[in-house]
Structure 1
Amino acid sequence: MEYPQINIKLLSEEDRELVKQAKQRAEELRLTFKEFVLDCIRNALFEESPDSADSATAAEIEALKAQIATLEEKVNIPSATKTEVHTLQERLNQLRVGISNEIKKDREQLASLTLAISRLESQIEQLIPSLNLQVDGEGNADTDSDWLFGEDSGSLGGEDVEGF
């Protein structure tokens, strides 16, 4: 299948300036240059004077214009310039690096906390024999509070608390 092409030589400076302005306008509208040129052609074709046709044809032309406008709104796919895409890609990469760094920090903190918990467990295991306790919670002490506060659980002297 052969697709039609438009090749136009721009001989005058005025024509080149016109194309430059058209490209800028297309960029402002977030359209490709091709989309912009085709829209201009459509608009020029539809701007024919309805006076030259009868009123039924004029009404039909207006209805078609409305349908085309509706379809263009539905089909209009947002586009971005290369600069915008590049900026978004850079931002995305920055966010990825930031997230990776945060994950690394979280893992380091988790490892540090795991080590601290392990040390605490070790210290608790060392304290259990000195408190004369067993793992199942049964102790050799006479009362529940004697092992913590000493023989006289009613008095809380400074030496009792410090000894613990």
Structure 2
Amino acid sequence: MEYPQINIKLLSEEDRELVKQAKQRAEDLRLTFKEFVLDCIRNALVEESPNSADSATAAEIEALKVQIAALSEKVSIPSATKTEVHTLQERVNQLRVGISNEIKKDREQLASLALALSRLESQIEQLVPSLNLQVDGEVNSNSDGDWLFGEDSGAELPLT
């Protein structure tokens, strides 16, 4: 299947300026240049009267409308300006850095908590052997069975 193609040479400065303005207008409307040109052709065909001597026949106009509709379906890819894409890229990078910083903070907090837990476990392990615990209902060798005395720690802990 052959696809129609339009090749136009624009030799005058006025024509080049017109294309420049059309491209800017297409960007303002968030259309590709191709979409914009097709819309202009479509609008011109709708405004054109098929009864005038210089115009194409109604059948040719309908055929062109069908071709334009087919091309429009193929050109339905959304477009964005370079500025919009650049802004989105910057925002994504900012979010990536923010997330990385939050992860780093969380890791630092977890490391700090793990260190604190490790220190607590170590201190508990040091306290356990120094306590004279009651075993199987027997009271330790101290005369006061309600209190446990740690010889190394110097602390008195009530037995509950």
TM-score norm. by structure 2 comes to 0.64
- After superposition, what is the alpha-carbon deviation per residue over 1:116-160, rounded to whole angstroms, capped at 9, x for unaligned? 1011011012223344347x9x89579xx9438x9xxxxxxxxxx
CA distance in 2, matches of 1:126, 1:20: 82
CA distance in 2, matches of 1:36, 1:139: 96
Q: Which runs of 4+ in 1 moved over 3 A?
A: 75-78, 129-134, 138-142, 145-148
CA RMSD of aligned residues (A): 3.9
Amino acid at match of 2:4: P
1:15 Cα offset (Å)? 1.4
- In structure 2, the CA distance between the partners of 1:37 and 1:131, relative to structure 1 (3 Å rule), is same
Mind listing any 5+ residue stretches in structure 2 that lack a counterpart? 52-57, 150-154
Amino acid at match of 1:101: N
Query: 2:27, 2:81 within 8 Å by CA — same for their partners in 1?
Result: yes
Q: Number of matched residues?
A: 134
Question: In the alignment, which residue of structure 2 is the partner of 1:94?
Answer: 94
Q: Write the mapping of 1:61-72 to structure 2, written as runs, cut at 5 A.
A: none
CA distance in 1, matches of 2:42, 2:138: 94
CA distance in 2, matches of 1:92, 1:109: 26
Query: 2:147, 2:156 within 8 Å by CA — same for their partners in 1?
Result: no
Q: Write the mapping of 1:49-88 to structure 2, written as runs, cut at 5 A.
A: 49=49, 52=51, 78-88=78-88
- After superposition, what is the alpha-carbon deviation per residue over 1:26-82, rounded to whole angstroms, capped at 9, x for unaligned? 0011100011000110111112348x5xxxx9xxx9xx9xxx8xxx8xx95542112
Q: Write the mapping of 1:39-54 to structure 2, written as runs, cut at 5 A.
A: 39-49=39-49, 52=51
CA distance in 2, matches of 1:147, 1:131: 10
Amino acid at match of 2:48: E
1:84 Cα offset (Å)? 1.4
CA distance in 2, matches of 1:9, 1:77: 27
Tell me if 1:123 matches 2:123. Answer: yes
Question: In the alignment, which residue of structure 2 is the partner of 1:106?
Answer: 106
Identical aligned pairs, as a percentage?
82
Structure number with the higher helix fraction is 1
- In structure 2, the CA distance between the partners of 1:76 and 1:6, relative to structure 1 (3 Å rule), is closer
